[in-house]
Copies of this chain bind each other. A is one copy, B any other.
Amino acid sequence: MTRAGLTTERLVRAGAELADEAGFDQVTLSALARRFDVKVASLYSHLKNSQDLRTGIALLALEELADRAADALAGRSGKDALTAFANVYRDYAREHPGRYAAARLRLDPETAAASAGVRHARMTRAILRGYDLTEPDQTHAVRMLGSVFHGYVSLELSGGFSHSEPDSEETWSRVLDALDALLRNWPAR
A106 to B156, CA, bound (A): 11
Partner of A181 from B109, B143, B180, B182 at Cβ < 8 Å: B182
Tell me if A174 and B106 are in contact (CB < 8 A).
no
Q: How large is the interface on A (under 10, 10 to 19, 20 to 34, 35 or more residues)?
A: 35 or more
Known: A143-B155, A151-B154, A158-B104. A178 touches B187 (CB 8 A): yes
Q: Is the Cβ of B170 less than 8 Å from the Cβ of A136?
A: yes
Please provide the chain A residues from 118 to 169 with a CB less than 8 Å away from any CB of chain B in the complex. Answer: 136-137, 139-140, 143-144, 146-152, 154-155, 158-161, 163-166, 168
Contact with A151, one of B152, B160, B187, B189 (Cβ below 8 angstroms): B152
**Does chain B have a CB within 8 A of A171?**
yes
Q: Answer whether residue A70 sits at the interface, using C-beta atoms and an 8 A cutoff.
A: no
Chain B min CB distance to A120 (Å): 11
Q: Does A177 contact B (CB under 8 A)?
A: yes
Shortest distance between the CB of A154 and any CB in chain B (Å):
7
Across the two chains, which residue of chain B brings its CB closest to A141?
B178
Q: Which residues of B contact A92 (CB under 8 A)?
A: none
**Binary CB contact string for chain A from 81 to 112 against chain B (1 if under 8 A, 0 otherwise):** 00000000000000000000000101001001
Q: Does A185 contact B (CB under 8 A)?
A: yes
- Residue among A151, A165, A170, A175 with max Cβ neighbours from chain B (10 Å): A151
Give Cα A187 to B158, complex, Å. Answer: 28
Chain B residues, Cβ within 8 Å of A180: 187
Show 21 residue pairs from A and B whose CB-CB distance is below 8 angstroms, ordered by the A residue.
A106-B158, A109-B159, A112-B159, A136-B166, A136-B170, A139-B164, A139-B171, A140-B174, A143-B161, A144-B152, A144-B171, A147-B148, A147-B154, A147-B175, A148-B148, A148-B151, A178-B182, A181-B182, A181-B185, A182-B182, A185-B185
